Amino acid sequence: MTTDYALKVTDLVVNYGIVPAVKSISFSVARGKITTIIGSNGSGKSTTMKALTGLLPSQSAGIELFGKNIRHTETDVLVKQGLVLVPEGRRLFKSMTVTENLQMGAFQRSDKVAIARDFEQTLEYFPALREKLNVRAASLSGGQQQMVAVARALMAGPKLLLLDEPTIGLAPAIVDTIAEIIQSIAKAGVEILLVEQNAEIALEISHYAYILERGEVAMHGLATELANSAEIQRAYLGI
Ligand SMILES: Nc1ncnc2c1ncn2[C@@H]1O[C@H](COP(=O)(O)OP(=O)(O)OP(=O)(O)O)[C@@H](O)[C@H]1O
Ligand SMILES: [Mg+2]
């Protein structure tokens, strides 16, 4: 089935017990266009990512990945279908080396030749990691750890990559590097849904943006338009 959307989410609801965290949000990721969900602390960004990837139970009127209904699909099956999450906080295997972390990303695959090829291709995005391949993840800088987290996700062979706050806690120069890498990955044909507190960088590299506030979509529109909106500038861009 062909569709213009990599992802289409309709009326997603996620509760923690009786506490609502995501209150019936709808959004989509158009193919070939980086899409972002921007929100401050506790607005429901990670909850949304976990629900999409089957890590949290949710209700919805529909979640479609490339036109196919994926409600109630388990996480490992979703990974095989190309939906891969780079989780908040990286969640690396800290005592393992960079190479081992990347290999873990491909653990569901058995095509050794393709895995070796993807390992090489992945490192082309991250030249800084080449000299760190045998270094344990724990001893890398924050920026390098984030690179490993993205690289590990690429090793799963994603069609749609979900990135949960990849720039948090990083120095501005590294934020720019990560942003450039995300753009290169998108150019290579991987669909991107970027979740960020850093509205400035998210709006800069995205085509379309959703603003999440207290579990609801408060605004959405073209990233260029939101970046020029007085309300967004005041609330999220510190202008
Ligand atoms: N395991 C949990 N149990 C109960 N409530 C939770 C749990 N995890 C998150 N919440 C609550 O759900 C809401 C959304 O949290 P979530 O982690 O999705 O926010 P976020 O947008 O990712 O925030 P941040 O930018 O800090 O990562 C918050 O009110 C949070 O306190
Ligand atoms: Mg979060």
Domain extent listing, the chain: 5-236
Output the pLDDT for position 220.
97
Q: Which protein residue's CA is at the shortest distance from atom 17 of ligand 1? A: 46
42 lines ligand 1 (CB under 6 A): yes
167 lines ligand 1 (CB under 6 A): no
Output the pLDDT for position 3.
77
Scored b (16 or more CB within 10 A) or e, 223-234 reads beebbeeeebee
| Alpha carbon distances (Å) from 97 to 77, 124, 148 | 26, 18, 10
46 lines ligand 1 (CB under 6 A): yes
Per CATH, domain 5-236 is 3.40.630.10: no
Q: How many angstroms is it from 115 CA to the middle of ligand 1?
A: 35
Sheet holding 19-30, edge to edge: 19-30, 5-16, 62-65, 68-69
213 lines ligand 1 (CB under 6 A): no
> In angstroms, rounded to a whole number, what is the distance separating the alpha carbons of residues 230 and 48?
27
Local confidence pLDDT in tens for the 239 residues of the chain: 567 999 999 999 999 999 999 999 999 999 999 999 999 999 999 999 999 999 999 999 999 999 999 998 999 999 999 999 999 988 999 999 999 999 999 988 889 999 999 999 999 999 999 999 999 999 999 999 999 999 999 999 999 999 999 999 999 999 999 999 999 999 999 999 999 999 999 999 999 999 999 999 999 999 999 999 988 998 888 76
> In angstroms, rounded to a whole number, what is the distance separating the alpha carbons of residues 14 and 59?
7
Return the bridge partners of 220, or none.
210
Please give the span between the terminal C-alpha atoms of the chain, in angstroms, as a whole number.
44
107 lines ligand 1 (CB under 6 A): no
Output the pLDDT for position 2.
62
Give which of 124, 125, 149 is closest to 137, Cα–Cα: 149
Output the pLDDT for position 101.
97
Residue 164 · residue 49 · CB < 8 Å: yes
43 lines ligand 1 (CB under 6 A): yes
Phi-psi region of 82 (alpha: psi -120 to 50; beta: other; left: phi over 0): left
Tokens of 232: 């967004």
Q: Which protein residue's CA is at the shortest distance from atom 4 of ligand 1? A: 16
Question: Using one digit for the tens of pLDDT, what is the confidence trace for 212-227?
Answer: 999 999 999 999 999 9
Q: How many angstroms is it from 43 CA to the middle of ligand 1?
A: 7
Q: Which atom of ligand 1 is nearest to the CA of 212?
A: 21
15 lines ligand 1 (CB under 6 A): no
Q: How many angstroms is it from 49 CA to the middle of ligand 2?
A: 9
Angle between helices 142-154 and 112-125 (to 10 degrees): 150
41 lines ligand 1 (CB under 6 A): yes
Residue position matching structure tokens 């949290």: 56
Output the pLDDT for position 191.
98
> In angstroms, rounded to a whole number, what is the distance separating the alpha carbons of residues 233 and 219?
13
Q: Identify the DSSP state of 18.
A: T
Q: Which protein residue's CA is at the shortest distance from atom 14 of ligand 1? A: 44
Give which of 48, 5, 70 is closest to 212, Cα–Cα: 48
